[in-house]
Amino acid sequence: GQQVMQIPQYQHVQEGEDFTTYCNSSTTLSNIQWYKQRPGGHPVFLIQLVKSGEVKKQKRLTFQFGEAKKNSSLHITATQTTDVGTYFCAGRNSSNTGKLIFGQGTTLQVKP
Amino acid sequence: DGGITQSPKYLFRKEGQNVTLSCEQNLNHDAMYWYRQDPGQGLRLIYYSQIVNDFQKGDIAEGYSVSREKKESFPLTVTSAQKNPTAFYLCASSMPYRPYEQYFGPGTRLTVT
């Protein structure tokens, strides 16, 4: 079945350093979403990418969708302690109507 | 104040007992979902419903059951057949059939001993 792999599983950075998490799908995706889950909390939607090669920015966060629509990345510039949490990508392929397939998540720790 | 509520936040049960987790939303969303979250495994889909009185199995439906009698409610029953029920359970909702984002409830942490 369709799989979405996400790496790394954990990342520890010093405050101010950059951070990147990568997401790869075994099949072509119609769109990809990114969610953030704070420790002890629930996932919260960040953004959706739909077009091949799409790049979107939210302040210090940059999201990319690959040209082949099989991979995506989230890059955080100059991390802050408020960035701590687990970041999930979630893909949807064109053959299913509602299901999202979630990656395993990348847990980010930021040392002040 | 619109949103999704799940209750209770923590639930403890003895092995062999069925338990029902509550999920209610007032977002007027047609689609609702149940996920299970275990450490290091992300979110795995248990069941989902695109419309009232209809639901489909997700990737790990064995040992679980659901009902969707009302648009606002999508309760999940964890049966005694579920071999490893201790986990964090998340309910979500969205508009159906379109690539809309999912809104998650606060979750229920179930511990079975």
Q: Identity (one letter) of the amino acid at A13?
A: V
Per-residue model confidence (pLDDT) at position B95: 81
Q: Cβ distance A31 to B94 under 8 Å? A: no
* Interval B21-55: pLDDT, tens: 999 999 999 999 999 999 877 899 999 998 999 99
Per-residue pLDDT at B74 exceeds 60: yes
User: A39 is written with which tokens?
Assistant: 């420790």
- Size of the A and B interface in Cβ pairs below 8 Å: 56
The answer to whether the CB atoms of B40 and A41 lie below 8 A apart is: no
pLDDT-derived band at B2, boundaries 50, 70, 90 = low
Q: How far apart are CA B15 and CA A112, in angstroms?
A: 43
B72–chain A nearest CA distance, Å: 18
Per-residue pLDDT at A96 exceeds 60: no
* Interval A39-78: pLDDT, tens: 999 999 999 999 999 999 999 999 999 999 999 999 999 9
DSSP helix/strand/coil, B48: strand
Q: Identity (one letter) of the amino acid at A90?
A: A
Contacts of B96 by beta carbon, 8 Å cutoff, 6+ apart: A97, A98, B29, B30, B31, B50, B51
The answer to whether the CB atoms of B42 and A105 lie below 8 A apart is: yes
Read off the pLDDT of each residue in A96-105 and give the average, rounded to a whole number. 82
Contacts of A18 by beta carbon, 8 Å cutoff, 6+ apart: A75, A76, A77, A78, A79
Q: Which helix (H) or strand (E) holds B49?
A: strand B43-51
Per-residue pLDDT at A97 exceeds 70: no
Q: How far apart are CA A105 and CA B8, in angstroms?
A: 25
Per-residue model confidence (pLDDT) at position B40: 73
Read off the pLDDT of each residue in B6-31 and give the average, rounded to a whole number. 94
Q: Cβ distance A63 to A19 under 8 Å? A: no
Per-residue pLDDT at A99 exceeds 90: no
User: B54 is written with which tokens?
Assistant: 């209809």
Tell me which chain A residue has its CA closest to the CA of residue B96. A98
Per-residue model confidence (pLDDT) at position B100: 79
Per-residue pLDDT at A3 exceeds 90: no
- Contact residues, chain A, for B91 at CB < 8 Å: none
Q: C-alpha A28: how far from its chain's center?
A: 16
The answer to whether the CB atoms of B106 and A1 lie below 8 A apart is: no
Nearest to A79 by CA among A5, A10, A11, A9: A11
What is the secondary structure of A18-81 as a DSSP string? -EEEEEEESS--SEEEEEEE-TTS--EEEEEE-STT-EEEETTEEEEE-TTSSEEEEEESS--G
User: B75 is written with which tokens?
Assistant: 């309760």
- Contact residues, chain B, for A30 at CB < 8 Å: 99
- Contact residues, chain B, for A1 at CB < 8 Å: 59
Per-residue model confidence (pLDDT) at position B35: 97
B5 φ, ψ to 5°? -115, 140
Does residue A92 belong to the interface with chain B, where contact is any CB pair within 8 Å?
yes
CB-based burial label for A84 (10 Å; 0-12, 13-18, 19+): middle
Nearest to B101 among A1, A33, A98 (CB): A33
Read off the pLDDT of each residue in B92-104 and give the average, rounded to a whole number. 82
Within the 61-100 window of chain B, which residues sit less than 8 Å (CB to CB) from chain A?
90, 92, 94, 96-97, 99
